[in-house]
Each structure stands twice: as structure tokens, then as C-alpha cells.
Structure 1
Amino acid sequence: MENMKPLIVEFMIGIILLGISFFVKNDYYSTMIFSMGIGLTAGAAAQIIRIIYWKNPKRQDAYEAKKQETHINRIDERKQYLRMKAGHITYQIMTFLLLLLAFMLSLFRAEAWIIVMIFLLFVFQWLVGFIAYRILEKKM
């Protein structure tokens, strides 16, 4: 229960933000606050459900095996090198893409959709890192 306290606080903050969003008159800020509330609430709820699922006594052996495997993967030098290499490759790719994006946005005089584009770049950066890690893991 002790490890769920921050998640419960996060869940409650999300609920509060959802409530506040209904009282904000400006549509832009109302939508932003509502989205943050949904994100916090859903993320915290998913983590709470995950903790409850794995703390079930029926799954204790599988949970302990999963924790042991995670610990081994964290201290394994090969895995550390692969994570570092994947991060380096991702950084190089994202640097090039951000420069290209800055040039394109200056040509098109972009407005509100910049936010969506930056978010998609964040998702793309994570995905490239994940794929690079998996490819490097198979090669080594």
C-alpha cells in the first residue's frame, strides 16, 4: 500500500483537474486542463491496477521471477551498452529531424499544429530508441 500512495495522490489530482476543466470558460484552457486530468487519472489508474494485479498471492512466484529478471537486465553490462548505443543512435536521428522540422516550419509559417508535431516527434524518438535497442540486442 505504501508504494501506491503517490499514485493515489496523482489519481486525485487528475480528478481535481477534470473538475476544474468544467469551470474554465476559455475552451482552449478548458480542453488542456481536461486532457491533463484524463492523462493523470488514466495513467495512475493503470499503474494501480498493475500493482494490484501483481501483488495477488496467486501471482507471487511469477512476480518474483519477473523482478529477478528485471534486476539482472539492469545490471547486465551488455544490456547497459545496448541501451547506451540505442540512445546515441536515437539522439543522432532526432537531431537531424529537429533541424529538418525547424526548416519546414519556417517555410510554412506553422501555427497550432506545432504542438501535435512536437508530440509526434517525441513518440517517434521513443519508438526509434526501442527499435534500435531490439535490433542491437539481436545482433550481439
Structure 2
Amino acid sequence: MKDMKPFIVEIVFGIILIGVSFFVKNDYYSTMVFSMGFGLIAASVAQMIRITYWKNPKRQEAYEAKKQEAHINSVDERKQYLRMKAGHITYQIMTLLLLILSLILALIRVDVWVIAMIFLLFVVQWVIGIIVYRILEKKM
């Protein structure tokens, strides 16, 4: 039951969002709030089903093996390196994509605020990358 407590809270919050959606006057926002509530409930129920499935005594051995494998993967140095390398490559790809997207949007004459927002995302990503690098450099 202790594992289920956060999901029960999320279900209650989802029900509250669905209830609030009926009082919102604008259809666009009403639908958005309703969808968020429904999505939160559905995700929480799916996680509760998953927990119940793996807590079944018939699956206890397979569950323990799965947990042991996840623990080994989390402390394995090679896997840690691969995760860091994947994050680095993803960072580089997203930086390049944001720059290319802002250039394409500028060429097709999209509103200036859209181009500025995409370019600011690039700048924020770049700055966060530098900050995280400096923090990790000091820790290691």
C-alpha cells in the first residue's frame, strides 16, 4: 500500500482537475484541463496495475531478478559511460536542430516572437550545458 500512496494522490488530483474543467467557461481550456486530469488518472491506474502485477507472489522471483539486473545496470561503469555519451550526443543534436529550426523559421518569415523563443531555447540549453559541466568538473 505504501507504494500506491503517491498514485492515489495523483488520482485524486486528476479527479479534481476533471471537476474543475466543468467550471471553466472557455472550451479550449476546459478541454485541456479535462484531458490533463484524465491523463493523470490513466497513468496512475496503469502504474498501480503494474505494481500489483509484480507484487503477486507468483512473480516474486522474476521481480527480484528484474530488480537485481536494474541495480547492476545502474552501477555498471560501462553503462554509466554509455548513458553519459548518449546524453552528450543528444545535447549536440538538439543544439544543432534548434539553430537549424530558427534559421528555417526565419527564412519562411514566421512571427519574430516564435523565432526568438526557439533561439532562446538554444541559448538556455547552451548555458545550462556549460553550468552542468562546471558543476560536474568541480565534483569529479
Structure 2-normalised TM-score? 0.73
1:97 paired residue number: 97
Q: What are the superposed Cα offsets for residues 81-118 of structure 1, whole Å, 9 maximum, x if unpaired? A: 000000001111011111222233343426xxx8xxx9
Stretches (4+) displaced over 6 A = none
1:66 paired residue number: 66
Q: Which amino acid aligns with 1:49?
A: I
Q: Which runs of 5+ in 1 are unaligned?
A: 119-140
1:35 paired residue number: 35
Q: What are the superposed Cα offsets for residues 29-78 of structure 1, whole Å, 9 maximum, x if unpaired? A: 11221121122111111111100000011100000000000000000000
Q: Which amino acid aligns with 2:4?
A: M
SS at match of 1:2: coil
Aligned residues: 112
C-alpha RMSD over aligned residues: 1.8
Which structure would you say has the larger RCO, counting Cα contacts within 8 Å and 6 or more residues apart? 1
Q: Which amino acid aligns with 2:21?
A: S
Distance across 2 between alignment mates of 1:24 and 1:105: 34
Distance across 1 between alignment mates of 2:110 and 2:12: 40
Structure 1-normalised TM-score? 0.73
> Measured at CA, do residues 38 and 105 of structure 1 come closer, stay the same or move farther in structure 2, by a change above 3 Å?
farther
